[in-house]
């Protein structure tokens, strides 16, 4: 039996000790009996049983580490562009006479989109044709002159010098005719430029120029942008560290082979929803950007319904499978000075803090690269006040929290 000190607030009447030691009385015997009873009752009080309960080991949930398959993912900001984004600009100056499409309209390849007033260009074509006819007549006249003087030179009626002069005039007339024909073709081309056709099928962008506007090749803004979005290209960038990890993570001797072995990627849109179709990384830029220290990747996604348009933004998610991974719930870890720890439990149910190395995350779990092995036991939760060497009473969760 364990005895405790008497409480300091125990009151004993002072007159109880007012007696002669040499003459014991019945009062002394009663005093000692009363004190013994008080001490015995205090020692057997409920506080004693409470202290005993406090020394029992705490019961905490503990689970064993098991290797399992998992996937880690990395996300990168991305921008979306059509496979073809063409700025339509006028190639001749003139007045915009007709706008034959509306903003956002889908057009087929070859459809006329804009018409420029063609009257000045028709007149230029007619003028060029007239010059061509004049050049043809001049050539005929020169050839007649040469034909006329050739027999006279042979009969030495006129000098050879005159015939050579006429032949030179004929060559000049022939050159003038070729020049006139070129001017006709140039005028025809300029006339054809008054009608602007869709070079590919796609969607019309903004139309800043309206009917009646004066337009020309030197305009800063295009007439519109035509986007072919039956497929879209999604561009994202990797830093040097991520790029080195990428090249080491996937199989293949060359970068092209590694890209072929890369699994399909997911596109997360601006509203956090996932795009219905998966994409494929198919192009890596030839060099790093010196200003940003990143290299650009391109993934291609099908877009049959036209839901994606040029200028959209989102995030590319690249997943990597791990066949034999050690997973630890994030809530079973804690950080001290930028290091991540778990609380391990040995065979004697004694606990100790164990540092671990994290190589990635998957869901609410950490992917552990070192510090733990299969079969190790760790405390799932409730370890905040535990000290190294403390003994606990393990409780097993119904399932492994890292592999629900």
The string of pLDDT tens digits covering residues 62-82 is 988 888 888 778 889 999 998
The string of pLDDT tens digits covering residues 98-153 is 999 999 899 999 999 999 999 999 999 999 999 999 999 999 999 998 898 888 88
* Band of pLDDT at residue 47, cut at 50, 70 and 90: very low
* Band of pLDDT at residue 323, cut at 50, 70 and 90: confident
Question: What is the Cα–Cα distance from 377 to 62, expressed in whole angstroms?
Answer: 7
Q: Name the least confident of 167-171, 177-181, 361-365.
A: 361-365
pLDDT at 397: 67
Percent over 70 (pLDDT), the chain: 84
User: Which span out of 134-148, 242-256, 358-372 was modeled with the highest average pLDDT?
Assistant: 134-148
Question: What is the Cα–Cα distance from 82 to 249, expressed in whole angstroms?
Answer: 30
pLDDT at 126: 96
* Band of pLDDT at residue 306, cut at 50, 70 and 90: confident
Task: Write down the pTM of the prediction.
Answer: 0.62
DSSP secondary structure string, 128-173? Answer: HHHHHHHHHHHHHHHHHHHHHHHHHHHTTSS-HHHHHHHHHHHHHH
DSSP secondary structure string, 172-183? Answer: HHHHHHHHHHHH
pLDDT at 53: 47
Contact 38, 3 (CB under 8 A): no
Helix (H, G, I), strand (E, B) or coil at 60: strand
DSSP secondary structure string, 182-212? Answer: HHHHHHHHHHHTTEEE-SSSEEE----S-TT
Question: What is the Cα–Cα distance from 32 to 265, expressed in whole angstroms?
Answer: 89
* Residue carrying structure tokens 């001490």: 39
Question: What is the Cα–Cα distance from 22 to 46, expressed in whole angstroms?
Answer: 40
Nearest CA-CA partner of 271 in 241, 229, 314: 314
Contact 263, 118 (CB under 8 A): no
Indicate the burial class of 28 (C-beta count within 10 angstroms; 0-12, 13-18, 19 or more): middle
**Length of the chain (residues):** 404
């Amino acid at each position: 039996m364990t005895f405790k000190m008497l409480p300091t607030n125990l009151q004993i009447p002072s007159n109880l000790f007012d007696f002669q030691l040499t003459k014991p009385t019945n009062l002394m015997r009663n005093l000692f009996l009363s004190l013994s009873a008080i001490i015995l009752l205090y020692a057997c009080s409920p506080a004693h049983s409470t202290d005993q309960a406090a020394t029992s080991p705490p019961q905490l949930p503990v689970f064993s580490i098991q290797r399992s398959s998992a996937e880690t993912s990395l996300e990168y900001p991305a921008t979306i562009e059509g496979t073809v984004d063409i700025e339509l600009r006028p190639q001749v100056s003139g007045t915009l006479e007709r706008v034959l499409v509306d903003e956002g309209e889908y057009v087929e390849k070859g459809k006329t989109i804009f018409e420029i007033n063609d009257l000045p260009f028709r007149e230029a074509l007619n003028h060029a044709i007239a010059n061509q006819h004049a050049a043809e007549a001049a050539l005929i006249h020169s050839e007649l002159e040469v034909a006329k003087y050739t027999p006279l030179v042979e009969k030495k009626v006129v000098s050879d010098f005159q015939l050579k002069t006429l032949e030179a005039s004929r060559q000049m007339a022939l050159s003038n005719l070729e020049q006139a024909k070129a001017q006709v073709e140039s005028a025809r081309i300029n006339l054809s430029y008054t009608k602007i056709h869709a070079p590919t099928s796609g969607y019309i962008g903004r139309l800043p120029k309206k009917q009646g506007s004066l337009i020309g090749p030197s305009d800063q803004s295009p007439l519109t942008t035509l986007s072919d979005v039956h497929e879209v290209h999604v561009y994202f960038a990797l830093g040097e560290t991520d790029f080195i990890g990428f090249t080491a993570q996937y199989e293949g001797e060359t970068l092209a082979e590694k890209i072929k072995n890369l699994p399909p990627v997911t596109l997360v849109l601006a509203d956090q929803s996932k795009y219905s179709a998966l994409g494929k990384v198919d192009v890596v830029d030839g060099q790093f950007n010196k200003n940003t220290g990143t290299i650009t990747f391109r993934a291609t996604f099908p877009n049959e319904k036209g839901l994606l348009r040029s200028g959209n933004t989102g995030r590319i998610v690249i997943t990597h499978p791990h066949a034999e991974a050690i997973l630890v719930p994030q809530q079973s870890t804690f950080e001290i000075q930028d290091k991540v720890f778990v609380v391990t439990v040995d065979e004697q149910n004694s606990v100790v803090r164990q540092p671990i190395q994290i190589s990635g995350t998957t869901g609410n779990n950490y992917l552990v690269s070192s510090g733990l092995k299969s079969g190790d036991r760790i405390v799932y939760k409730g370890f905040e006040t535990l000290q190294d060497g403390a003994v606990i009473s393990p409780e097993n969760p119904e399932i492994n929290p890292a592999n629900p």
